[in-house]
Amino acid sequence: MKYLTAIFLILFYFQTATSQTYELGGFIGGANVIGDVGNTAYINPNTVAFGGVFKWNRSERHSFRFSAIVAKAEGNDADSKEGRRQQRGYSFKNNIKEFSAGLEYTFWEFNLNSGAPAAAPYLYTGVSYFLYEASYIDTTGSYKDYDQAGAIAIPMVIGYKTTLGTKLIGAIEIGARYSFTDDIDGSNPTQGMIGDNQDLKFGNQNNNDWYVFTGITFSFTFGREPCYCNF
């Protein structure tokens, strides 16, 4: 009997899964880092970011979302409004490769199957893992990377999406990521022998770095018309 129950549950799961609506698309926009080097503006995209997005719409109000985004990360003290940073004159360049999974929640129902135009603001959060170059700035002000590193980040995204037809959805969003590292800008090297040299650390070591993605997404919907009554 337990085997029949297991088979029934498996069949029920696949029936539910195949009756959902999916989205697959891309993201393009800009990126900026909030740290100990460069401009301190919260939204200040100064490099290009791009990637892909996949969504599994589990109801008209929420979706499971997965994404991968690649971005350059740059900062220059000359762009800061703080006199001490301008006088110091540090700069950095890094690369971020982020993989994220979480939940996207709309403020009201966003029905993709009614045939009528739909639009809604939304929030997204979850967990991200990103790769970057461990680095430091030496006593002459030169930026150097010495290893590959990875860290966890918490995404906090707000956006607005709208249907652009029966199968296409467009959105604009701003997403800050709180990272669990203070080394994106080279201000707090922590790996290997570099981390033992306190002379290479500067800035506020009690605050971790943030990075922000600002841009637009376009996604195509596919799959059978969903039945949300099972969730």
- The secondary structure of residue 95, as a DSSP letter, is E
* Secondary structure E strands in the chain: 21-34, 47-57, 62-76, 91-106, 119-137, 143-163, 168-179, 210-222
Burial state string for 135-148 with b = 16 or more CB within 10 A and e = fewer than 16: bbbeeeeebebeee
- The secondary structure of residue 200, as a DSSP letter, is G
Whether the Cβ atoms of residue 160 and residue 122 lie closer than 8 Å to each other: yes
Give the torsion sign (CA, 16, 18, 23, 24).
Answer: positive
The percent of residues above 70 in pLDDT, for the chain, comes to: 84
Q: Which residue, among 33, 20, 14, 40, has the nearest Cα to 225 in the 3D structure? A: 20
Q: Enter the pTM of the model.
A: 0.83
Q: Which residue, among 53, 60, 81, has the nearest Cα to 170 in the 3D structure? A: 53
The average pLDDT across 75-94 equals 91
Question: Residue 62 and residue 41: Cα distance in Å, rounded?
Answer: 31
Domains in the chain, please, with CATH?
Answer: 21-225 (2.40.160.20)
Work out the pLDDT band at 63, boundaries 50, 70, 90: very high
| pLDDT tens-place string over residues 181-226 | 999 998 888 766 555 567 788 877 788 999 999 999 999 998 765 5
Tokens of 215: 């841009």
pLDDT of residue 3 exceeding 60, the answer is no
pLDDT of residue 16: 43
The average pLDDT across 29-43 equals 94
Q: Which residue, among 157, 156, 204, 154, has the nearest Cα to 182 in the 3D structure? A: 204
